[in-house]
Amino acid sequence: MDAQFLDLLAQKYDTEEKVVTEIINLEAISNLPKGTEHFVSDLHGEYQAFQHVLRNGSGNVKEKIKDLFREVWTDNEINDFAALVYYPEEKIQLVKAELCNQQALNQWHRQTIEQMLMLISYASSKYTRSKLRKALPEQFVYIVEELLYKTDSTNNKDPYYDEIYRQIISLGQADKLIIGLAYTTQRLVVDHLHVVGDIYDRGPDPDKIMDTLINYHSVDIQWGNHDVLWIGAYAGSLVCLANIIRICARYNNLDIIEDVYGINLRPLLNLAEKYYDNNPGFRPKLPADHNVSESEILQITKIHQAIAMIQFKLEIPIIKRRPYFHMSERLLLEQIDYDKNEIKIGGKTYPLENTCFATVNPQHPEQLLEEEQQVMEKLLFFLQHSEKLARHMNFLMKKGSLYLKYNGNLLIHGCIPLDEEGNMEKMQIEDKTYSGRQLIDVFEYYLRYAFAHPEETDDLATDMVWYIWTGECSSLFGKREMTTFERYFIQDKETHKERKNPYYHLRENDEICRKILLEFDLNPDHGHIINGHTPVKEIRGENPVKANGKMIVIDGGFSKAYQSTTGIAGYTLLYNSFGMQLVAHKKFNSKEDVLCNGTDVLSVKRLVDKELERKLVRETNVGEKLLQKISNLKNLLEYRYMK
Ligand SMILES: O=P(O)(O)OC[C@H]1O[C@](O)(COP(=O)(O)O)[C@@H](O)[C@@H]1O
Ligand SMILES: [Mn+2]
């Protein structure tokens, strides 16, 4: 063992007692049951629904309440208490409005604090005291610990405990304590959160989700294609930038760009007003009960066209300078007969509708007008100087990766690109060919490089981020082509189809999943692949658990726009010491509904995998690190302290 390393360690553990105490502590921890992992994906800006799933721990909170109180409480009482744990601030106000006098309120406070403490004690039974302490409301740690660890069997201290309760209530601290304890409970039921991609786009509040994740106690992120699009824009890719604005316009979310991230859209609006008019193909998607004025809709419709046309133009030079992207079929602006208003795709000619080509030079469709160029430069400047976006993107980079190996499982948003035979699909980049894990590692290398060099906008790394969004060998896109252009301008639905990578039918097969797990050095007997990205069409009988349980697809279906195709609000996954459970969620209506009617988006659980023996911390990623530390400390003990 390296003497210098031991010297360093000896500085921290400078007595034999300290070393021994730490070894005992770590050994004990590694024999506790593993903490609960919670997997969610495809949040798509749906902050409220995500909050709900987070606050109820995919049904875990209610389960713990039921374990404790099922014998003595009615369903209504259970729902009420659950709502208090999920949304304590609001629920307390509702309770107060119902109680008739101070005495009844005092009684409710005392009883509720006692019940919360019982719940916390139960929910923390597999954690150390130190871990629980970290989860307790900071200002009340001392008091809560006193109440939690009552050991006086002689009842000598009863008056002492009574007095604590009385003081909390008379000093007006009861609400705060209950709120704090509710958040402690939420935190205890989930030890670690995995977000398997697609935080951004389509829904209204991705920024609030980011803030929630930044404040969450333990989280990792596997980037989704939409997250990569935002990273690409921030890293200097103009085409990614055009895409994120186009999607925001399409879903009536330009507020995110303008108000949330402070990017001035005025120059783009001026351009849009000059060249575009109303166009049924570009009106934003709106819910039936919207209250957006016609003039606002018209403005968005114009911006939508302006930015979509800029996007299509910007794609051309990238496709041309990167022949190995194999995207020449996507040079669609060059396939248009601008006089006849037709396009030739795959040898077939289609009429075009809803066209808006006022800024296109038919001889050079890739050319941006000077004004378009200036607009994009300004937008990029604003974007790269948004303090809030910088914070969110940095967090995405810090906690995120294209895939993650965690406790024997492989987490990845989209796919492992395969050919029809089930071999790892090959992609040539410059003069080298990559496939499988190596290809994805190369993608990640370029993405991180692009992020580190936001001033470079046309280099390979920046182009590659766009490729990850839309290229046929991308592990996040998983389709042969993105038919955005066709869906705007061609009526024939045949042209709208996006052919999926063979992975999506091959992943039903046990052997293929085993092969993929091996490619990532994971044990195929125990590991699972966990995917997001494709909404599971339960409506049509699709099963989210595939390949004899080796493959689990948890597209959360949070995205309202997609709920009609899934028939459900999607899935989340829990992995605790007893095994893995898939949770199916019903549609989330509103927080008010949960608070007033006790309707929890109640979840149906399906067992995916059951551990033969309860899984311990020592068998996890974290446990591996603990065992390494124990071994180092034992060396320290032997070489520095033992006589
Ligand atoms: O329904 P929209 O918003 O037009 O988006 C459709 C596009 O989104 C994609 O499905 C990618 O987004 P997802 O990752 O959410 O599937 C593309 O394949 C498709 O072209
Ligand atoms: Mn996706």
For the stretch 267-322, pLDDT in tens is: 999 999 999 999 999 999 999 889 999 999 999 999 999 999 999 999 999 999 99
Residue 597 has what pLDDT? 77
The verdict on residue 210 lying in a domain is no
Question: Which of these ranges, 185-194, 351-360, 475-484, 562-571, has the smallest mean pLDDT?
Answer: 562-571
Residue with CA closest to ligand 1 atom 17: 482
Residue 593 has what pLDDT? 82
The DSSP call for residue 257 is I
Residue with CA closest to ligand 1 atom 8: 482
The verdict on residue 393 lying in a domain is yes
Residue at a domain's end among 428, 463, 498: 463
Query: CB 146: neighbour CB atoms within 10 A?
Result: 13
Question: Which of these ranges, 339-343, 356-360, 493-497, 533-537, has the smallest mean pLDDT?
Answer: 533-537
Alpha helices in 215-355 (DSSP H): 225-234, 238-250, 254-255, 266-275, 294-321
Which ipTM was obtained for this model?
A: 0.95
Distance 250 CA to ligand 1 centre (A): 12
Say whether both 336 and 443 belong to one domain.
yes
Say whether both 168 and 234 belong to one domain.
no
Say whether both 115 and 26 belong to one domain.
no
- Ligand 1 neighbours, Cβ below 6 Å, are 198, 225-226, 479, 482, 484, 498, 533
Alpha helices in 453-544 (DSSP H): 460-470, 484-489, 503-506, 510-519
Q: Is the pLDDT of residue 591 over 90?
A: no
Distance 169 CA to ligand 2 centre (A): 49
Distance 226 CA to ligand 2 centre (A): 6
Cα–Cα distance, 135 to 145 (Å, whole number): 12
The verdict on residue 597 lying in a domain is no
Residue with CA closest to ligand 1 atom 6: 484
Pocket test for ligand 1, best of 226, 246, 315 (most atoms within 8 A of CB): 226
Question: pLDDT class for 369, splitting at 50, 70, 90?
Answer: very high
Question: Which of these ranges, 69-73, 318-322, 612-616, has the smallest mean pLDDT?
Answer: 612-616
Distance 471 CA to ligand 1 centre (A): 13
Residue 274 has what pLDDT? 98
Residue with CA closest to ligand 1 atom 13: 533
Say whether both 124 and 249 belong to one domain.
no
CA-angle at 125, arms to 120 and 130, nearest 5°: 85
What's the mean pLDDT in 2-20?
91
Task: Determine whether 610 is exposed, middle or buried from the number of CB atoms within 10 Å of its CB (0-12, 13-18, 19+).
Answer: exposed
Cα–Cα distance, 332 to 348 (Å, whole number): 13
Cα–Cα distance, 292 to 131 (Å, whole number): 48
Pocket test for ligand 1, best of 44, 198, 201, 225 (most atoms within 8 A of CB): 225
Distance 425 CA to ligand 1 centre (A): 22
Q: How many domains does the chain have?
A: 3
The verdict on residue 239 lying in a domain is yes
Say whether both 328 and 231 belong to one domain.
yes
Residue at a domain's end among 188, 210, 242: 188
Residue with CA closest to ligand 1 atom 9: 482
Residue 643 has what pLDDT? 64
The verdict on residue 491 lying in a domain is no
Residue 605 has what pLDDT? 74
Residue 603 has what pLDDT? 64
Atom of ligand 1 nearest to the CA of 42: 15
What's the mean pLDDT in 64-75?
95
Atom of ligand 1 nearest to the CA of 251: 3
The residues near 533 (Cβ < 8 Å, ≥ 6 apart) are 41, 42, 197, 198, 224, 225, 413, 414, 415, 476, 478, 555
Task: Please tell me which of 537-541, 629-633, 639-643 the model is most confident about, judged by mean pLDDT.
Answer: 629-633
CA-angle at 45, arms to 42 and 50, nearest 5°: 70
The residues near 590 (Cβ < 8 Å, ≥ 6 apart) are 48
What's the mean pLDDT in 579-591?
85
Question: pLDDT class for 491, splitting at 50, 70, 90?
Answer: very high
The DSSP call for residue 138 is G
Which residues partner with 606 through β-bridges? 582
Atom of ligand 1 nearest to the CA of 44: 15
Domain range for 169: 56-188
Question: pLDDT class for 147, splitting at 50, 70, 90?
Answer: very high
Atom of ligand 1 nearest to the CA of 484: 20
Residue with CA closest to ligand 1 atom 15: 533
Say whether both 261 and 367 belong to one domain.
yes
Q: Which bound ligand lies closest to the C-alpha atom of 533?
A: 2
Give percent helix, percent strand, percent coil of the chain, each to the nearest 5.
55, 10, 35
Q: Write out pLDDT tens, residues 396-412.
A: 999 999 999 999 999 99
How many percent of the chain have pLDDT more than 70? 97
Pocket test for ligand 1, best of 474, 498, 558 (most atoms within 8 A of CB): 498
Residue with CA closest to ligand 1 atom 4: 484
What's the mean pLDDT in 18-25?
94
The verdict on residue 130 lying in a domain is yes
The verdict on residue 543 lying in a domain is no
Say whether both 117 and 67 belong to one domain.
yes
Question: Which of these ranges, 148-157, 273-282, 532-541, 575-584, has the smallest mean pLDDT?
Answer: 148-157
Residue 564 has what pLDDT? 65
Q: Which bound ligand lies closest to the C-alpha atom of 197?
A: 2
Residue 160 has what pLDDT? 87
Distance 200 CA to ligand 2 centre (A): 10
The residues near 489 (Cβ < 8 Å, ≥ 6 apart) are 281, 343, 352, 353, 354, 355
Distance 94 CA to ligand 1 centre (A): 41
Distance 243 CA to ligand 2 centre (A): 14
Q: Write out pLDDT tens, residues 79-88.
A: 999 999 999 9
Atom of ligand 1 nearest to the CA of 498: 18
The verdict on residue 546 lying in a domain is no
Task: Specify the long-range contacts of residues 52-56, CB closer than 8 Å, at least 24 apart.
Answer: 52/86, 52/588, 52/591, 52/594, 52/601, 53/556, 53/572, 53/585, 53/588, 53/601, 54/186, 54/190, 54/193, 54/212, 54/216, 55/85, 55/86, 55/87, 55/186, 56/82, 56/86, 56/600, 56/601
Cα–Cα distance, 236 to 384 (Å, whole number): 8
Say whether both 302 and 352 belong to one domain.
yes
How many percent of the chain have pLDDT more than 90? 84
Distance 413 CA to ligand 1 centre (A): 14
- Dihedral of CA atoms 56, 57, 59, 61 in degrees, nearest 10, equals -70
The average confidence (pLDDT) of the chain is: 94
Atom of ligand 1 nearest to the CA of 414: 14
Say whether both 234 and 372 belong to one domain.
yes
In one-letter notation, the amino acid at residue 271 is L
Say whether both 359 and 452 belong to one domain.
yes
Query: CB 602: neighbour CB atoms within 10 A?
Result: 13
User: Contact 556/54 with Cβ under 8 angstroms?
Assistant: no
Say whether both 180 and 230 belong to one domain.
no
Q: Is the pLDDT of residue 567 over 60?
A: no
What's the mean pLDDT in 16-28?
93
Q: Is the pLDDT of residue 422 over 70?
A: yes
Cα–Cα distance, 524 to 534 (Å, whole number): 23
Say whether both 9 and 133 belong to one domain.
no
Residue 217 has what pLDDT? 94
Pocket test for ligand 1, best of 286, 484, 486, 565 (most atoms within 8 A of CB): 484
Question: pLDDT class for 611, splitting at 50, 70, 90?
Answer: confident
The 10 Å CB-count burial string (b at 16+, else e) for 386-418 is: beebeebbebbbebbbbbbbbbbbbbbbbbbbb
